Amino acid sequence: MKKLINAPESVVTDALAGIAAAHPSLAVDIENKVITRAGEPTQGKVGLVSGGGSGHEPLHGGFVGYGMLDAACPGEVFTSPVPDQMLAATRAVNGGAGVLHIVKNYTGDVLNFQMAAELAEDDGIEVVPVVVNDDVAVQDSLYTAGRRGVGATVFVEKIAGALAERGASLSDVAAVANEVNERSRSFGVALTSCTVPAAGKPTFELGESEIELGIGIHGEPGRHRGPLVPASEITAVALDAIHADLPLTGDVLVMVNGMGGTPLVELYVVYNEVHKYITGKGARITRNLVGNYITSLEMQGFSVTVCQLTDTLARLWDAPVDTPALRWGR
């Protein structure tokens, strides 16, 4: 294992110290592992808290700031945070209008956020959870824990954050968060595995000319394994799966996301294929992101996320945002 770390046990706290040093707009409680906006919570504004395992940076800490999250709770690498962190974050961002918990659909995240919400309600803080589950690679049926939450999390955090910034109520912010989730779908592909620092070796083995299709964001195996083929074919597999689940029509927001170890030049190769495919279906990409937004350590690969926009969602997407990882309009 070759990594730029001091010790596997201190990866998360060392990185949090770096985030604190790099971004004075954030307040970082390194001991309790909570990142909030610097300063007091805005009275009357709904607070947005998200969190999850570390290793997906810039998610979630990189999205704390004006127009997006109020707090993020990073867990250990690929391990959900604990209720104490989420409760501390919820208390810290409560401006009296309630708090939205944005939860990716993994058993651990859901259980820990559920416990935190109960504790917060004992404190008299109203909490509404929204569970993101956009990954079409996973069958959503009685036979699974349900679809995983992946790329749509970025869209949910941005759009719900914009609405909260305008002073909307908790129920309205939760409704738009759910709407974005329902209108979004993702599919991921890995060219290599990744190594959890504390485990010291790759989570799975992939041959030199093999790829894993339908991966999540934790180096977990995907839908199936296949041979390495041109980017156009890989992209078509991903978008076929998305299109089969949510027809590609109208105006769409598209994210081509790197998994952490993919050069930007390859992401643009993929974006070109995505653009051709979606345009070919008669839909129009009116907003896009290309880059590393929800990663899986040093994994090579990408995910593509599509959201069917409405005029309202497009306006909220365009609203000013000022975070370490997304910034425009302000």
Map the footprint of another protein across residues 303-322, applying CB under 8 A. Answer: none
Backbone angles phi, psi at 115, to 5 degrees: -65, -40
Interface stretch with another protein, choices 180-188, 195-203, 269-277, 306-314 (CB under 8 A): 195-203
- Check residue 203 for interaction with another protein (CB under 8 A): yes
In the complex, least distance from residue 39 CB atom to another protein, rounded to whole angstroms = 28
Q: Where are the alpha helices (DSSP H) in the chain?
A: 11-22, 83-93, 107-122, 152-165, 170-182, 231-245, 264-280, 311-318
Q: Which residues contact 70 (CB under 8 A, 6 or more apart)?
A: 36, 37, 41, 47, 48, 49, 64, 93
Residue with tokens 């070759």: 2
| Catalytic residue set | 56, 218
3-class DSSP state of 267: helix
3-class DSSP state of 169: coil
Give the nearer residue to another protein in terms of CB position, either 139 or 169.
Answer: 139
d(CA 118, CA 113): 9
In the complex, least distance from residue 115 CB atom to another protein, rounded to whole angstroms = 6
Binding mask 209-228 for another protein (x = CB under 8 A): -------x-xxxx-------
Q: Strand pairing partners for 290? A: 256
Interface stretch with another protein, choices 63-71, 196-204, 245-253, 278-286 (CB under 8 A): 196-204
Question: Which CA distances in Å does 329 have to 67, 309, 313, 322?
Answer: 10, 19, 16, 8
In the complex, least distance from residue 100 CB atom to another protein, rounded to whole angstroms = 21
Interface stretch with another protein, choices 142-150, 155-163, 174-182, 312-320 (CB under 8 A): 142-150
Candidate list 57, 70, 76, 179; residue touching another protein; CB under 8 A:
76
Candidate list 148, 158, 183, 243; residue touching another protein; CB under 8 A:
148
- Check residue 10 for interaction with another protein (CB under 8 A): no
- Check residue 129 for interaction with another protein (CB under 8 A): no
**Tell me, what amino acid is at 292?**
N
- Check residue 29 for interaction with another protein (CB under 8 A): no
Candidate list 199, 231, 236, 314; residue touching another protein; CB under 8 A:
199
3-class DSSP state of 113: helix
In the complex, least distance from residue 129 CB atom to another protein, rounded to whole angstroms = 15
Give the nearer residue to another protein in terms of CB position, either 107 or 288.
Answer: 107
- Check residue 274 for interaction with another protein (CB under 8 A): no
Dmax of the chain from CA atoms?
Answer: 55
Is the backbone peptide bond immediately before 41 cis, with ω within 30 degrees of 0? no
- Check residue 107 for interaction with another protein (CB under 8 A): yes
Q: Strand pairing partners for 157? A: none
Candidate list 63, 106, 155, 293; residue touching another protein; CB under 8 A:
106
In the complex, least distance from residue 162 CB atom to another protein, rounded to whole angstroms = 30
Map the footprint of another protein across residues 43-72, applying CB under 8 A. Answer: 53
**Tell me, what amino acid is at 201?**
K
CB of 296 closer than 8 Å to CB of 204:
no
The DSSP secondary-structure symbol of 197 reads T
Candidate list 139, 169, 249, 312; residue touching another protein; CB under 8 A:
139
- Check residue 204 for interaction with another protein (CB under 8 A): yes
Which contiguous run of DSSP H or E holds residue 211? strand 210-213
Q: Name the residues that contact another protein, by CB under 8 A.
A: 53, 75-84, 106-108, 111-112, 115, 138-139, 142-145, 148, 196, 198-199, 203-204, 216, 218-221
